[in-house]
Amino acid sequence: MAEKTRVVVVGALGRMGMETVKAIEQDEELELVAAVDIKAKGESISEITGIKGSSIIIHNDLETALEETKPQVLVDFTNPQAVFNNVRTALVRGVTSVVGTTGLNQVELNQLEKLALEHDVGVAVIPNFAIGAVLMMKFAQEAAKYFPDVEIIEIHHDKKMDAPSGTAIKTAELISQNRPQRPPRNVMEMEKITGCRGGNMDQIRIHSVRLPGFVAHQEVIFGGIGQSLTIRHDSYDRVGFMPGVLMVIKRMLNRKGLVYGMENLL
């Protein structure tokens, strides 16, 4: 029987972290060797997941967990303020990293890529682990050839800290790569309320909604003469992200450097 891949989850007490812990514990090819959360107070994995038989206690210090358990892969679902330092801490120890936390800027991505190559490991930064969301982005990229006029509406739960979402930014980047050059709109707009037209990224308006009751949702709306096209994806439960999370963990083991976006691993 092949040896299992040793994984640590950071942000284990968060909603995505907790689902990831459960998914890894139930996967035959992976072994959860540590869980980390800055809010941890000595809870056990069995207590928070209901999965019996795990003796793992949640650490509140990442460096200690890495030194004690020697994982091969780190999965980060923390927050935009912590993610860069967490991943840097893992990469310098030769630990491949899978990042589900959004908010990293281009300078930080470049630094993480450099570190990963220096230490001969990989780092995957994944704006969205839902297979359907990746397909939505690819369909939008294709549609942009024919419908250059487009806006994006992304809707998330009210606890999400960054806006716009990483998925919306990635979608806009893909659309920009594929749509023809466009002159600036020759329309004088007047915003009666500042910001009501959303953010502007490469002449693509992005609107962010934050409300309780939602998980992760996005519409890409294309407008053309006499017609429109809407491409939408909805995530109703975080368990829907788990097949993507597990797939990325396994496929990153033999990758070096930066992978940005799950479409590059499908």
Q: Which positions are catalytic? A: 156, 160
Largest CA distance in the chain: 67
22 with 13: CB under 8 angstroms?
Answer: no
Run of H or E residues at 233:
strand 227-235
DSSP string, 143-172: HTTT--EEEEEEEE-TT--SSS-HHHHHHH
Three-state DSSP string of 169-223: HHHHHHHHHHCCCCCCCCCCCCCCCCCCCCEEECCEEEEEEECCCCCEEEEEEEE
In the structure encoding, which two tokens stand for residue 104, read together? 């990293």
In the structure encoding, which two tokens stand for residue 244, read together? 């993507």
CA angle in degrees (0–180, nearest 5) for 71-76-78: 140
